[in-house]
Amino acid sequence: MTGAELKAALLEECPVSYAGITYQKVTALIYRKAGKGTRIQISGELLDRNGRAVVIVPAEKIERGTSNA
């Protein structure tokens, strides 16, 4: 996902997937400065299906889910 797509998923609270696992929703966007340059790395914080744990992964590795079921 791009940063804009990740932001939309956050606001819509739709399910997303990463590494073949479906997560309930995106709970946060994280912007980090990468190294000494001006490059920004965007990550997403994903809430698991049980609502008890989160993982932080690079935005480009997250895929949009299809439903809230």
Q: What is the pLDDT of residue 27?
A: 97
Q: What is the pLDDT of residue 67?
A: 62
Q: What is the pLDDT of residue 60?
A: 96
| Domain ranges for the chain | 3-64
Q: What is the pLDDT of residue 22?
A: 94
Closest Cα partner for 16 from 53, 56, 68?
A: 68
Q: What is the pLDDT of residue 66?
A: 74
Average pLDDT per run of 10 along the chain, which is 69 residues long? 96 95 96 87 96 96 79
